[in-house]
Amino acid sequence: MDLSNFTTLQNLESAFGGESMANRKYLFFANVARQLGFSDLAKLFKETADQETEHAFAHFELLHPELVVKDAASLTEEQKREIISRCLSLAIEGETYEYTTMYPEFAAAAQQDRDNPAAEEFLKQAQESSDHANTFRSAAHRFGLLKFIENYHADRYSEALEVLNGGQAVTRVAGEDPATQKWICRQCSMIYDPVAGDPDSGIAPGTPFAAIPDDWSCPICGATKKTFKPLEEKVAA
């Protein structure tokens, strides 16, 4: 669908918001009905909530066709990562807006209205949104690291296949410059590159492995710093 029409775009976003809100509202009603002993009504509310979810999904697919997965088996690993990375980016965007703009503004308005319970709730939600955003950022970072790990694995398998077919074994050596020497986790193959550092863990770019605090751990599997060893790289032919 062509979303260059601003009115249609706004209408789809409003429809998605309305259907999403209806889903949560009906689930709330279902919980109330269940607590009061009206099991039939609880079931009705739950069924309707599920239908509203399908409506919301249909609207969201039109808003974000790049996220629609029709045949996962036909996608490459890179395409799969692009899609899930986009999901994480949207999640980070939404949660960041909530804790930096929406909830602080709501809390300020509630305080001005002297509605302390509402203000406290908004501030609490702002903190939770901040936590969610950080979690999504961490997940996005891990997906980025996994890409390099899979490339490393594919490279080693290719070398093994070449040797199996009669080729020569590849000579590998560790680097000599601590500023550029990469280290690899023996547990999960996460590769630490001192040029890039590990900003999400507080390790600035340009930090040699030896300068990393001893309590640093692998951002993928949580292994200790001692689990890493110098990465041996192929000698240029």
User: Residues 52, 94: one domain?
Assistant: no
The answer to whether residue 158 sits within a structural domain is no
Report the pLDDT value the prediction gives residue 213, as an integer from 0 to 100: 94
User: Residues 57, 81: one domain?
Assistant: no
185: DSSP letter: E
User: Residues 38, 97: one domain?
Assistant: no
The answer to whether residue 156 sits within a structural domain is no
Last residue of a domain, one of 89, 112, 146: 146
- Mean pLDDT computed over every residue of the chain: 80
Last residue of a domain, one of 64, 91, 110: 64
pLDDT at residue 27 is higher than 80? yes
- Overall domain count for the chain: 3
CA pair distance 121, 116, nearest whole angstrom: 9
CATH of the domain at 99: 1.20.1260.10
In this predicted model, what pLDDT tens digit does every residue of 32-41 receive, in sequence order? 999 999 999 9
Q: Which residue has the higher pLDDT, 52 or 133?
A: 52
CA pair distance 217, 210, nearest whole angstrom: 13
CATH of the domain at 228: 2.20.28.10
CA 97, 103, 104, 110: dihedral to nearest 10 degrees? Answer: 160
Domain that holds residue 38: 7-64
Last residue of a domain, one of 64, 92, 107: 64
Has this prediction a pTM greater than 0.75? no
Residue appearing with tokens 């709730």: 121
